[in-house]
Structure 1
């Protein structure tokens, strides 16, 4: 009886859960009722949370933010119009419930320790995804394909796999359920409507970070704590990114800009959001308080290093160490600095990927720029550098980014590592730069009816790195967003 009273309460008209309204007239709510009690309870613990669409989600979270339902997926799967939709509804959401199915059938809920590794992939994709994970250290790893094979859970699956592969789960005695909950919340705190700064980008950076951790200079020196921090920082380095850059937040008087005094606004927010999830899930709650605080502080130091406006500071310091040959990897502070440089390289490594991958990332980040520019035009704000789609192209933005930002960094990284991978990255970047240059020189087909203004697309002065720090890894926006909370319109 208590079970049905709970369902009655949960689905009663106009019940509120956060920003979600369960109005009985809502068609989506009707779809949920069709699933039956069993599927509802499974979906309560599904790995997708529904976020508010108004501005930013506050850094202080509710006590149970993961108890939400993916309405869009249910609507898509059950709204097909076929007669089998109602006859076998549970089968249609089968792929959404992989971890829950394994978890509920495991010994974890009965208090018996589960052997590592935990089965985390959907059985329909296990073979292909696991096959890719066997080659996760390859530089040509296709994160887009991996994301499809994991049903959109590339960040969760990849990070979990790497932590387990290094033996960090067992070494640091991480609770498996807490770890999984943390990774689910991390993935869902990335905005899927961002063309670039989303969970797939975070997964790509995590995979690149793993490649760098395997470089001989790092592999023989880093401690287990260094590796744990490096992987967690890569996975969370853009957490809750709004899809717009710091200058946009500052000029619109956003509350985050005020909170962090216009300094490393996004990076501070990513760090504090990550710390919030660590504390909410209690992932490190079993560690001494001092160790927890040190982990949080070091995590923040790594994430803050990705602030592109401080690129020259880090690069000059790195170059000085290499010139003086005084980097000592047995010193904790030097290892941490190398981790910072590794994360910086991983964050902007897109130009160093093979052309097929690099081109996709270039198009995504440029679209995010242009969507921010569209928002600025709509609200009569000054359009940020690189964000005017009528004055810039993917090619000239990428050539400028490689010339002034990526090439100097990866040249110094190659001096430090001097490995096949470091030379491969430089080789790819040179080829990609030449490819964009070739595309820029190709005359675009213009019809007789085309307006003369289309010819100005290649005249934008985007080949220089903007002084405000808005480069190919920090700028952008989405057309679906309005001015974020706390901003003003001209």
Structure 2
């Protein structure tokens, strides 16, 4: 649903008037809706009618291979269920740990970080000087925890080669909290929207800890990386001169929460294991709805926007959901076709609020899958991480005798062939159109990195193929010599992860 209103850019030295955010048509989130009620055993989810993609459309085919195929349910809205596939009782926080991924020491480290951050938050709450005068708190008060190197990196947070892995180490694993708070402060949004800094800090800590850091890819570091990329896009000339402070606030919050609570498995896995989330969201944009509602839950729990009128808070929640839902890759072609149509007709008008919101959706989509457009040293790390997450899902499916999802079998796929396909059919079409929209130095830099990275993966693929062909005859001769001329055995494939 498009937004059909416009917000003015407000000066930073005045509080936000209550009428600024007031608009009609807010969607009501009923507090009486049960998300955790017990299921009715008579209500069974009957799935059929999976969307059929034309096999001649290579882009659609590859999107389907990524696993986000929408399957609509015939049943109505059901309460959230905790029971799933008879072989799987999935606790996402321990899913990979039970299968031998990760270590127990990681958990204790996370607990120590949570304790440190929440202790700081409790200290702020307990201070009489901070009660009731949050708007008068110096904006640098939370910066005292930054060490010199992290602070130095934040001064260059708009650089496209920003190393989020290094930044995460420098902040002791708190990159998402530190980066997001810094950007909100940098734009003056804390003061402009009269945000209580204690509530904001608590909200960001809870967001960071609700990401499952056992996931190789969909974790808090990925969220921080997407938030940094979103900031780079917001700084683009086409957007910087048009976006309102409200647009920027929504864009940064959506980037920070866009994968909140991601389980490390894809939507078809949740559907075929009859997971309660698939039933709750009727097998449609299951993960994206989960991320959105999780973000709304934390906003309400921390009461971050409780000082705003109720209608304004609901509007903000709804528009936050619109941005997060746009990251559903099964709708990639829908958004891309619409974006291309606007560019062909040259009718994008950023003074129109609905057009600005659509551009924010496209910016978030680009930020979400921008890893192939980063410098090789960063892009390669992300490629290894996302592929390992695919393979871990495949291992789980094999363990429980389920059909292995496409791209998730580590015996049949390599990092290189997955990345080459992803770039060719998903990333290149999107970023080519983004470059048409924002023909800037950054957009050309991203296209250049993507071309070099694709060539690098193709080169590694060719080297692996050549090495396998050369090793084949010698390995066979050695086996025959040992076995006395017996038939050769199958030679295992090498790995590109080294």
TM-score tier by shorter-chain length is 0.7 to 0.9
| Deviation, structure 1 residue 290 | 1.1
Which residue, 452, 461, 482 being the options, matches 2:490? 452
* Contact 2:121–2:201 under 8 Å retained in 1: no
Relative to the length of structure 2, the TM-score reads 0.71
Counterpart for residue 465 of structure 1: none
RMSD of aligned residue pairs (Cα, Å): 2.6
CA change 1:141–1:411 in 2 (3 A) is same
CA change 1:353–1:391 in 2 (3 A) is same
CA change 1:109–1:117 in 2 (3 A) is closer
* Contact 1:196–1:361 under 8 Å retained in 2: yes
Counterpart for residue 354 of structure 1: 375
| Deviation, structure 1 residue 72 | 1.1
Instruction: Output aligned runs, 1:88-107, within 5 Å.
Output: 99-100=120-121, 103=124
Q: 1:224 & 1:266 partners in 2: Cα distance? A: 28
Which residue, 261, 265, 271 being the options, matches 1:240? 261
Which residue, 130, 138, 141 being the options, matches 1:116? 138
* Contact 2:125–2:198 under 8 Å retained in 1: no
Tell me the SS of whatever aligns to 2:493: helix
Which residue, 248, 269, 273 being the options, matches 1:227? 248
Q: 2:114 & 2:259 partners in 1: Cα distance? A: 30
Counterpart for residue 91 of structure 2: 55
Which residue, 167, 175, 179 being the options, matches 1:158? 179
Deviations 1:107-161 (A, max 9, x none): 65455545332433565x5211110000000000000000001100000000000
Is 2:341 the partner of 1:320? yes
Counterpart for residue 364 of structure 1: 385
Q: 1:323 & 1:108 partners in 2: Cα distance? A: 57
Moved more, 266-275 or 99-108: 99-108
CA change 1:104–1:249 in 2 (3 A) is closer
CA change 1:147–1:106 in 2 (3 A) is farther
Counterpart for residue 309 of structure 1: 330
Higher relative CO (CA 8 A, sep ≥ 6), structure 1 or 2? 2
| Deviation, structure 1 residue 103 | 3.3
Tell me the SS of whatever aligns to 1:286: coil
Tell me the SS of whatever aligns to 1:442: helix
Is 2:419 the partner of 1:398? yes
**Alignment: residue pair count:** 378
Tell me the SS of whatever aligns to 1:120: helix
Relative to the length of structure 1, the TM-score reads 0.73
- Unaligned ranges ≥5, structure 1: 1-52, 58-69, 78-91, 459-490
Tell me the SS of whatever aligns to 1:392: coil
- Unaligned ranges ≥5, structure 2: 1-88, 94-105, 480-488
Q: 2:131 & 2:277 partners in 1: Cα distance? A: 43
CA change 1:382–1:453 in 2 (3 A) is farther
Is 2:109 the partner of 1:73? yes
Counterpart for residue 293 of structure 1: 314
Tell me the SS of whatever aligns to 2:295: helix
Which residue, 123, 127, 132 being the options, matches 2:148? 127
Q: 1:74 & 1:162 partners in 2: Cα distance? A: 24
* Contact 1:392–1:457 under 8 Å retained in 2: no
Tell me the SS of whatever aligns to 1:454: coil
CA change 1:100–1:457 in 2 (3 A) is closer
Tell me the SS of whatever aligns to 2:304: coil
| Deviation, structure 1 residue 289 | 1.1
